[in-house]
Structure 1
């Protein structure tokens, strides 16, 4: 299955685009899983093992934050078109809605001076003061800030640290027992960047904002592996059901395949990016900065889970993105040919 896609992944490992990769083609009838290459190249070479956990960076947004926000929307606890401030009073801007934050259309002016030198309390206070720009609702500009703010809202609504909310409402109901936040044992974690200031990052969140916010971070911070992300993907392919647990409603899953930006011209859904396959069908897509992505086709009942630590030992983002896009294009062509 997916011979050319697998060949391309193997070639990219040989070229040093990423040290190794753990990936799965998820279908209704089963999965095909592979773990190739190395987990670490510096200071010593370590082989990649399926049990090791990846820092999946912004996949945290769709696996955890988006899932819980959608659950609250289904329950009628929140109205995504109401001002965000209605649910998180500490936020100062009264114009931004939850939809703006979920679809990255808030035009939020998120520059924070000396951001990485602030304490978690100082950083949270700074985020409470950010304001929308003049293009509010008109254009998509991807930012971590919206998801960080949604995490603060969840903490207020549940009166718990956001990572506790994620454990209780996402990880536990889907038996994602190998996934965790704030790891205690670095040896179980695949390292990311050999950072100029932080040194080799292993067992700590790569994203600098989530690293500071720690238990309050909703934009990144999830450490997981193929085993658990296949469960999450299967839930989407099963229209929101994981075994006997209803995680999301069927109509919610289908609504995500529609452009949810305010002007319906932004090609983004609630939390998710939208890609179009070769048949014209929308499929759900999201990436993680560290070298991860999810592609889920709830209609065609297929998913592609890809995990790498492409920032290790050196972050070569532009080179990786070009190769990642080639990989996705190859997969979509093979997917189309297989389904015909």
Structure 2
């Protein structure tokens, strides 16, 4: 768990344990994202959380630094700024381009390097924010990152979008890049972003309470006392049973301690016809491959990119990101088409098929 720090202010507005868990998931997802992209062991750990004013944030030990600014959107708002050493970013880029050398002290971030670093940070930030959104059960997203090189005179206040005297949550991380680099970086969360995150945490707590109450009410509603013989007229018993049948669908019952426990049957997809006219994007994938950034930058007219499929292999038919069928390419008039030869799983496109 993130180390506890006694502070007063936005950091104590709600359940600190939930916030710590959220930040740990955030850090883990960032490390896993970088590891996947760079195909190298990247470990981000040890988040230490504190709360100070923007002007009190000290990052001189990270200079020359690079600021990675992003903004929470859709369900939340506010800026977050990651501050890390430029040499650590160079180590990431070396891994991305397949270079085994240590960071070069004379390295300059030209347009290509900045573009590659921006894309790398975009994927890392989006992945970590997506995990936070899943944890909170909401729609938090993040804007694309803006990278700012610091020469020692960079001011955090305009970057994070808060006044110097405003509070900010500062999180210190440790990062290990294979066995080559052990370093650290920090992340600053603005007051606006922190407030939104705490509101989402509180909303999740309320939703959990409501779901628990609904589950309890449903359980109680399914516990029905059995009708004792002779307690009511037969006709009244029939009316009672008919009413019960109309109010809920029952597929089984068990007598337990003098109570008859009715179990509701699973819902039937009777309303599936309502969505049958929904348009879906259908794409055909003839193959794919992975190339390093330096190889992609060398693409030009006439370059042949070899794919991972043989020439006579069937193509994949993708709907909403799901593989549903395979087939062979045909020509219809002047257009390409696909003749389906194998159905994989069409039910998966409605998220209900197994």
TM-score (norm: length of structure 2):
0.22
Q: Which has the higher strand share?
A: 2
* Greater radius of gyration (CA): 2
